[in-house]
Amino acid sequence: MKIFVRAFAYSLTACSLTICGLAAAPSAFAQQTVLPLWPHATPEPAQTTDPERDVTTDKDALIDGRRTERLTNVTNPTITVYPPSGVKNTGAAALVFPGGGYARLSWNGEGTDTCDWLNSIGMTCLLVKYRVPEKGRYPDNPADLEDAQQAMRLTRAHASDWHIDPVRIGVVGFSAGAHLAVTLGAHWDDTHVESTPAAADVDTKIDARPNFSLVIYPAYVATPPALTEIDPALVPVAKTPPTFLLQAEDDGVHVENSLIYYRALKEAKVPVEMHLYSTGGHGFGVHPPGKPEEHWTILATIWLRSLGVIPSLAPRHGPDRPSTGTPTPTPCPTPTVPQPPRAGNPDPKSTSPNTNTNTSANQNTSPATQTAQPYPNCW
């Protein structure tokens, strides 16, 4: 069963995979720009002298149905720019923070795959290779927050060069990277870096606050062991960006991280949308084949449109009814496809194929399992 809670309501529309962001972008990206976050020196000394390497083994779990590079010993953090190609650039962009427990980075399954999706909906992807391994997290260790702040500042500094709107730049984080997104959403204005050897590389006049945040199966948000309260260092503030939360209930890293953060955002009056799935585990990535979360990017794309981050879709009313502006929902007629008989004495209230007594909108199905829409031009 999929459960989702919304702080603002809209209808989940029937849509094609292309316009809702599931069309696969070409795996060969356009020419990429790679910038060092700290061209002279990192704010703190490196915690390892070993070379950067991929530590993936055959025993590691699959992400998006395949092995993913797991990078560690990242001592020279970078930002890699993936501009959209083959689709119209909307001007929106997002920094991507892969997960890996602050010990490694899931570079493909939560990094370049995310860039594929963002590019497919006309967004520029800024893939952040932040420092790992790092002992401790903010506030005990500010290293990764400093990398996130600097990545956001560099993106805004180069917004014109990279064809990005500086007021439509958000973050997408997975697991530990989701924790980093949450941290940046509360402490974008932290000043610790200004007292480090890297201070000369920081333009403090540039705002490091993200305009939106996608927090995907977050870790380290709820305080152990009870997992009933948020980590005091992560309490959202009034200017914490609008947030999209997604996690599976059987996540071994604990769904309480999303539940507790949702409550905290609600208390801070920050717009938030949360989607929970009963199964899926942890680390399923962007497009886990055969899992309930397989098409979660459709939900995220609709959310981004609702915020105005990317343009709204033109209404789909057929060739004799051209688009005239803002989409207007057109109710679908009741399908005439015969329904299979049900054993026993079915409740007459539940025999209609369009009946849904749950006010959370199609709670018992996901986009991956819904039947084909027989009327493609209605919503």
CATH code, domain carrying 211: 3.40.50.1820
Domain assignment of residue 269, yes or no: yes
Domain assignment of residue 342, yes or no: no
Whole-number Å distance between alpha carbons of 305 and 29: 24
pTM score, whole prediction: 0.77
Domain assignment of residue 349, yes or no: no
Buried b (16+ CB within 10 A) or exposed e, 55-81: ebeeeeeebbeebbbbbbbbbebbbbb
Hey, which residues does 200 pair with through a beta bridge? none
Q: Which residue has the tokens 């520029």?
A: 124
68: confidence class by pLDDT, cuts 50, 70, 90: confident
pLDDT at 73 over 70: yes
Domain assignment of residue 336, yes or no: no
Domain assignment of residue 325, yes or no: no
Q: Which of 61-70, 178-187, 322-331 is predicted least confidently?
A: 322-331
pLDDT at 26 over 90: no
Task: Give residues with Cβ within 8 angstroms of 345, minimum separation 6.
Answer: none
Domain that holds residue 245: 2-307
Q: In this predicted model, which residue has the larger pLDDT, 254 or 359?
A: 254
Hey, which residues does 269 pair with through a beta bridge? none
Task: Give residues with Cβ within 8 angstroms of 340, minimum separation 6.
Answer: none
Domain assignment of residue 318, yes or no: no
Nearest to 207, CA basis, from 271, 154, 171: 154
Domain assignment of residue 224, yes or no: yes
pLDDT at 2 over 90: no
Q: Which of 177-186, 280-289, 296-305 is predicted least confidently?
A: 280-289
- At 175-216, the pLDDT tens digits run 999 999 999 999 999 999 999 999 999 999 999 999 999 999
Structural domain total, the chain:
1
Domain assignment of residue 41, yes or no: yes
Whole-number Å distance between alpha carbons of 294 and 144: 29
